[in-house]
Amino acid sequence: MQFRNKIVSYSFILLSLALFSFNSTGQKQWIVPHLEGEIKFDGMPFEEAWNKIKPFPMTMQKPVFGKEPTEKTEIRMTYDDHYIYVSGRFYDRNPAKIQTSTKKRDEFSPNSDGFGILFDNFNDKENALVFMTTPSGTRTDMTIFNDAQGRMDRMPFNMSWNTFWDVETKITDKGWFIEMRIPLSSLRFQTTGNKTVMGVTVWRWLPHLNEYYTYPAIDPKYGDFASLKPSKSQEMVFTDLISRKPLYIAPYVLGGMTRDYNLNEPGTAYVKSDDPQITGGLDVKYGLSGNLTMDLTVNTDFAQVEADDQKVNLTRFSLFFPEKRLFFQERSSIFSFSLGGPSNLFYSRKIGLYKGAPVKIYGGSRIVGRIGHWDMGFLDMQTAQHEDLPSENFGVLRLRRQVFNPYSYLGGILTTRIDINGKYNLVYGLDGIFRIFGDDYVDIKWAQSYVTDSTNNALSLNPSRIRLNWQRRSIKGIGYDFSYSYSGKSFNPGIGFLSREKYYLLFGSVQYGWIPGEESPLFTHRITLRSMNFFSLEDGMLETGRLSLGWNFQTKSNYSGSFSLDYNHERVRGIFELSNDVNVPSGEYDFISFKGLISTPMTNFFYVAGNIEGGPFYDGTRLSFTLQPSWNISSSLNLSGSYQINRVWFPGRNQDYIVHLGGLKLLYMFSTKFSINSFLQFNSLTKSFIGNIRLRYNPREGNDLYIVYNDDLNTGRYSEVPTLPVFNTRTLVLKYTYTFNVQ
């Protein structure tokens, strides 16, 4: 109880700091004019209706912040009763150098000229919608969450989200030009009286000059994703914006064949089985109000979803794979309840997936949006029985609202997982994130789980999870990040993800960063000192400790890299198995490792990223190397690959562990509506090739034809008895979806 009282006391102090830091944005708002006159939607924004509108004053962000843009850039915005319109006049004195390297939907390459617009549509300073295009007229959309606070290995955006919108582009001897048309029904927003306020940021990217322009001017001290931060967007006012309630009805039909080979009962041979399938389903999206949307799904199918990348796990803890299924994407950040790193109280991949295999989803519903001052998310789904897993119901309710100032929130979450036999897992959580001053934020999390046949004592810390974090969000000057986390012995989020269990964590990071002047070849660089220590709840002993000293940089010509030297302490309680033949005995280990990463400029049509990690590893030695080349051969053909070798050897025990991972992606785009994407992966550990070919024809948003082929080939057939089949599973699927837009 003494520990609990301390937590409550610290929480009260932090809440008080947040309360006294109350402030408004103090930002002068931009009034967006209503459309006056006719616009011909053809990518050439030169009508009188456009000329009447004041363009946004653009500022260079990179390579020299605050400098006047080299190339004339005019971006305008207006609206009518149905759409928000955006135009861009992107002049270029060397139009032959305008770059475009892709035509595929949701493929935005840094070696293409580009334009983007961000809408903080609820003006909540934390979440946003982004729409981007290139000279070839590609459409890329995504959602932003957590105020774009993240890292390259944990991106603060979701590119799997899609909505309805259009763009037209033209390239001339003066430059390239765009017109963008976004339906009001695709945005969702909240109106008070006749006034709607949204945060907006626009930007232009010129790869041949390595220049990046934005409005408003956003200091690069906020990191790699500075221009994606909703909290830094310009507040814009729309008058008499009419809320639209969309109704999209999207039936699908699916046909295909799956062929499996399974070991027979005596274990003497593999037997072929064919599973032909003809089925269908239905997805419905309905706007309950201008700021609240309901999704319904029946006989949900995800046949068109891209395959996961293969990974090698050299840790004792679980790997995280991101959600790619479209049904879970819209405002998915509402459901997030981060527990630090990839750990989260809600992990949607627990629904409809079991031991890597798909589980049939009968159907479900999902409601997201805002009610008054509350952000709300609700989800309920029912799955079928699968092998030894009974039919289950999954539920999530999430509520959050702004408090104290425009950058602070309080919220709560409830998750439920109940199977047909009555077995249950219930979890509740309470959280708050508060900007207490300047760029300093405090994040507080509390959660408890209640599980069938457990003690379920609400006054105990055993089923509880706690996280306290204090962070300064800036890469310029002094920065810091301090955390305390506690994961109780019986804490068990049934539809969450935990990378590790039964511990308490002390984490601290201090850095100093520079943004040099125009004369320096460096754009940013910083040094960081980190300490991370996981302690076991069983005996309070240190389980994992790491002290890291690192430096990372980005040049004005877009080279980037990072290097670190790590001192590691690992306490292995039981045998840690890397494979059937290679393991690490129990004991305590101290070793020093090195990590390095470097990337050539992604503005080039051919670029390479590589990283290396090596040095002592427990009582042996480790060397891991990854190389990832990418080649945009043309705007129609992209080729990328990856090769990774992981070798761990223990001379004292005569054990050697080597895994090769290879991947090859080929993307051919006949047009912005028709593409073929193939992905081949090789894993030497499983001795298998995994192939995935996806053909997509998307003549308009919501109208999709997919042909998908998957194959899982064995390359080491004769390494086992009985002989393995040529392939484990082979699938061919055709799926067609047609969306009816009923308004």
* Domain residue ranges of the chain, discontinuous segments joined by +: 32-239
CA dihedral 688, 689, 690, 694 (to 10 degrees): -170
Task: Please report the pLDDT score of residue 107 as a whole number.
Answer: 72
Q: Buried b / exposed e across 98-110, counting CB within 10 Å, b at 16+?
A: bbbbbbbbebbbb
User: Exposed, middle or buried by CB within 10 Å (0-12, 13-18, 19+), for 558?
Assistant: buried
The predicted model gives 23-41 an average pLDDT of 82
pLDDT band at 349 (very low <50, low <70, confident <90, very high): confident
Neighbours of 325 (CB within 10 A): 18
Query: For residues 322 and 400, what is the distance between their CA atoms, to the nearest angstrom?
Result: 23
SS3 221: helix
Number of H helices, E strands in the chain: 2, 43
pLDDT band at 456 (very low <50, low <70, confident <90, very high): confident
The predicted model gives 324-338 an average pLDDT of 76
CA dihedral 122, 124, 129, 133 (to 10 degrees): 110
CATH class, domain 32-239, is: mainly beta
H/E element, 50: helix 48-51
Inform me whether the pLDDT recorded for 2 exceeds 50.
no
How is residue 151 annotated by DSSP? B
Task: Please report the pLDDT score of residue 341 as a whole number.
Answer: 81
pLDDT band at 151 (very low <50, low <70, confident <90, very high): low
pLDDT tens digits along 616-664: 999 999 999 999 999 988 888 889 999 999 999 999 889 999 999 999 9
Query: For residues 155 and 146, what is the distance between their CA atoms, to the nearest angstrom?
Result: 10
Task: Please report the pLDDT score of residue 459 as a whole number.
Answer: 84
**pTM score of the predicted model:** 0.80
Inform me whether the pLDDT recorded for 331 exceeds 90.
no
| Unique residue bearing structure tokens 């937590």 | 7
Inform me whether the pLDDT recorded for 467 exceeds 80.
yes
* The dihedral sign for the CA sequence 318, 323, 328, 330: positive
Percentages of the chain per state (helix, strand, coil), in multiples of 5: 10, 55, 40
How high does pLDDT run on average in the chain? 87
Token code pair at residue 722: 């009985």
> Which has the minimum average pLDDT: 372-376, 416-420, 434-438?
372-376
How is residue 35 annotated by DSSP? P
640 vs 104, 568, 607, 609, 665, CA distance in Å? 15, 34, 10, 11, 5
H/E element, 409: strand 409-419
pLDDT over 90, % of the chain: 52
Task: Please report the pLDDT score of residue 148 as a whole number.
Answer: 86
The predicted model gives 156-174 an average pLDDT of 87
The predicted model gives 251-274 an average pLDDT of 87
pLDDT band at 60 (very low <50, low <70, confident <90, very high): very high
Task: Please report the pLDDT score of residue 153 as a whole number.
Answer: 57
The predicted model gives 417-424 an average pLDDT of 94
